[in-house]
Amino acid sequence: MAETITASEVVKRYGSVAAVDGVSLSVADGEFFGILGPNGAGKTTLVEMMEGLRQPDSGTITVLGEPVWPRNTALLGRIGVQLQGSSFFERLTAREQLATFGSLYGAPPARVEEMLELVGLTDKASTRAEKLSGGQAQRLSIACSLVHDPDVVFLDEPSAALDPQARRNLWDVLRAINERGRTVVLTTHYMDEAESLCDRVAIMDAGKVLQLGPPAELVRALDAPVRISVEAGALGQDRAADIEGTESVAGDGVSTVITTRRPAPVLQALASMDALTGLQVRGATLEDVFLQLTGREYRA
Amino acid sequence: MTSTIVREATAASTRPGLRGFASLSAAMFKGFYRDWLSVGFSVLFPLFFIIIFGTIFGGGGSSTPPKVIQIGDVAMIETLPAPDRDALEQAVEIVPGTDLAAALDEVRKGDAGAAIEQHGDTLVVHYSSADQVTAASVQAIFGAFVNEANISASGVPPTYSLQTQQVEDESLKPIQFIAPGMIAYGIAVGAVFGAAMTLITWREKKLLRRLRLAPVSTSTVVTSRVVVSVAVALVQLVLFVAISVLPFLGLQLSGAWYMAVPLVIAGTLAFLAIGLFVGSVAKTVEGGSGLANLITLPMAFLSGAFVPLESAPAWLSTIGKFLPMTYLVEGMKDVMVRGEGPQAALLPIAILLAFAVVVTFIATRFFRWDAA
C-alpha cells in the first residue's frame, strides 16, 4: 500500500519544552489512523504540522507525496481539516458556512445540501453558527472539512462535546468516508472511539509515540488478566478462591470478582457450580494499554 | 442531473480563486450588514448627525431674510420704485408694526431682526447686538439703501456700481461642511472597524488558521476585504449625499463633486490600513474596538470632520496635517462644496494612498495568524 502521510524525526519545541519530540510514522493510503494521548501529549501539535499549519523545527512531513511546508495550495485542496473547536464566519447560517467553504475549495454547490444531510443538520440549515449547540457546531465543523470530498481528512478531537447518539452517528459518517478509500487521521482521548474506528493507533505522551499498532494487537500485547464477576449470592469469595486458574478474588458484597489469565477453566468451573448468575467478563481494553503506558497521575 | 454536477465541478475547479473571492466577499458583506452595531456606528450615527446639525443650523437665521418691523410711515421705502422695493424685500421681510415699545421688545428677544422708523430725513434702525450676524446684515442693508436713496435724490447717475458674487456658500449653510465631514467620519468608522474586527474575530475564532488550510491565497482574502470595504464606503457616500441634498437639508453640490468617489476609495484604503494595524496589535475584540475608537474619534475632531478648524489654534491644524482624514475632509469640501476643479482632489488622493502604503507596511510587522 502506498503511503499517504510520512513523518520522519519531527521535532517541535516551544521554548525549552519539546511538544513533539522526534516522531516518525507513516499512514497508509485509505487507512484510518488514530493518535491517542492525554492532554498536552503533543497530539494537536503533531496533527497541525501534518496539516501544514505549523512548521516543524526539524524533520520532514509529506502528505500525498508532497511536502506540507511551505504552504502548498495545490495540496491543501486535497486535504480536509477540522481544527479543535469550531472556526466559522461570523453571522453566517449553517448552509452559508458550508457554501462559503465549498466555494473556497471549488466544490460543486450541490454538496452543501448533501453535507447538511450527512451530519443531520438539514433542519438547522438556516440557523446562524453562533446559535448552534456545541454538538451541532462540531458536526457543522466536520461537514465543512468534508465538503470538497478530500483525499485525506484530519480531525482534531471530532467527538468532543458530542452526546452519545451524535458520537455514534459521527462514527458512521467517518466509517463511510474511510470505506470510500479516504485516509482519515483523528486525534481523540476516547479509547472506545479509537478501538472501534481505527485501523492503527499511535499512543503519544510527552511528545513521543510510545506504541503504534492495531488496537487489538496493542491490547493483546499488554497480557492483562481477565476479570470475571458473578453475583455474590451465587458464589462466595472463599469458594471462588479455590477455583483452578484464579489469581486473585475481590468482592463488595454485591458481586464476586475473579482475576485470571486463563478464563476458560474458570468459566467451566463456574458453570459446573451453577454460579453464573449476573456473569460479566471484562477483558483488557485500549484504555488499560493507555493507562499502563501513560500512568495514572492527574494531568494538568 | 449528474452531468450538471460534474460540469459545475469542472467549471468551479478551473477558477476556484474567483469563486473563493466572490464567496469570501459575500461572507464578509453579510457579516457587516447583519451586525446592527457596526451598521449603526458607520451609517446611522453619521446620518443622524447630518440630519440633526443640518436642520438645527440650517433652518435658523441666515437662510431666511430677517424680519424688520416698520413703525409708522417710512416714506423712504414707500416711495421706492417697484424694482428697488422688490430687491429690498428679498433682503429683509418688512412687516408693519404700530407700537415702538412692543417692536423693540421683539427685537430684544430675537423674534425680529430690527425695527425701523423715519424721523424727518433720518432713517432710524433699532437692532440688538445679541445676534451679531443679523445686526450686521440689517445695518449693512439699510446703510446701502440710504446711500442709494441719496444718490437717486441727487439726480446724478452713479459712476461706480457694485456687483457681488459669492465664492462659496460654506459660511451660509452649515450642511456644506457638515456633510463632507460626516461622510468622512462614517467611512473611517466603517473601514477601520471593518478591517480590525474581521482580523481580530477571525483570529480569535481560529478562522484565520482555517483559511490558511484552504486553497485560497492571502491576496484573495485581503482583496475581498478591501473590495467589501470600498463597496460599503461607496454605499455610505451615495446614501449620505442623497439625504443631504434633500430640500430640508439643502446640500448644494459643486461642479467636480464626482471626484468624491476616488477620494472616498483612497480614504477607505488609508482607513483599512489603520484597521489592519489595530487588528494586528489588539488581541481581543474589546481591546480592538477601544483602540479603533481611540484613533477614529480624536482623528475626526482634529481633522475638522465634526467642527471646522479655520479658527482653531495653529498647532491643532498642524496635528491635523498628519491625519489621513484631514485630506479626505478637505478634498471632499474642495470638490463637493467649494467649487474647485477635479484636480483639487489629486493631491489629497496621493497623500491618502501614500498613507495607506506606509501604515500597511507597519501593520504587517505586527501581524499574527494565531491568537497565542
Is A86 part of a structural domain of the chain?
yes
Q: In this structure, are A241 and A190 located in the same domain?
A: no
Q: In this structure, are A172 and A76 located in the same domain?
A: yes
Is A291 part of a structural domain of the chain?
no
Q: In this structure, are A197 and A241 located in the same domain?
A: no
B172 — pLDDT class (breaks 50, 70, 90): low
Please tell me the total count of domains within chain A: 2
Q: Using one digit for the tens of pLDDT, what is the confidence trace for A3-57? A: 899 999 999 999 888 999 999 999 999 999 999 988 888 999 999 999 999 999 9
Residue of A nearest to B220 (CA): A104
Q: Using one digit for the tens of pLDDT, what is the confidence trace for B28-84? A: 999 888 888 888 888 888 889 888 888 877 554 445 678 888 888 888 777 777 777
| pLDDT on residue A160 | 81
Q: Using one digit for the tens of pLDDT, what is the confidence trace for B328-359? A: 999 999 999 888 889 999 999 999 999 999 99
In chain B, the domains with their CATH numbers are: 21-58+169-366 (no CATH), 64-154 (3.40.190.10)
Q: In this structure, are A13 and A136 located in the same domain?
A: yes
Residue of A nearest to B9 (CA): A108
CATH number at residue A186: 3.40.50.300
| pLDDT on residue B163 | 67
Residue of B nearest to A86 (CA): B205
Contacts of B355 (CB under 8 A, 6+ apart): B270, B273, B324
Which of A191, A218, A245 is the last residue before a domain boundary?
A218
SS3 A48: helix
Is A299 part of a structural domain of the chain?
no
Q: In this structure, are A258 and A148 located in the same domain?
A: no
Q: In this structure, are A279 and A231 located in the same domain?
A: yes
Is A143 part of a structural domain of the chain?
yes
Is the pLDDT reported for residue B7 higher than 50? no
**More confident call, A280 vs B372:** A280
Is A300 part of a structural domain of the chain?
no
Q: What is the mean pLDDT of residues B229-240?
A: 94
Q: In this structure, are A135 and A248 located in the same domain?
A: no
Distance, CA of B213 to CA of A4 (rounded, Å): 18
CATH number at residue A231: 3.30.70
Q: Note down the domain range covering A238.
A: 225-283
B15 — pLDDT class (breaks 50, 70, 90): low
Question: Chains A, B: CB contacts under 8 A, how many?
Answer: 89
ipTM: 0.82
Is A163 part of a structural domain of the chain?
yes
Q: In this structure, are A235 and A207 located in the same domain?
A: no
Give whichever of A180-184, B85-89, B116-120 has the largest mean pLDDT.
A180-184
Q: In this structure, are A186 and A233 located in the same domain?
A: no
Q: Using one digit for the tens of pLDDT, what is the confidence trace for A90-144? A: 899 999 999 999 999 999 999 999 999 988 899 999 999 999 988 889 889 999 9
- Among B27, B35, B215, select the one facing A100 at the smallest CB separation: B27
Q: In this structure, are A211 and A240 located in the same domain?
A: no
The DSSP bridge partners found for residue A23 are A10
CB contact under 8 A, B22 and A103: yes
| pLDDT on residue A202 | 94
Q: In this structure, are A231 and A186 located in the same domain?
A: no
Q: In this structure, are A132 and A246 located in the same domain?
A: no
**A79: chain B residues, CB-CB within 8 Å:** 213
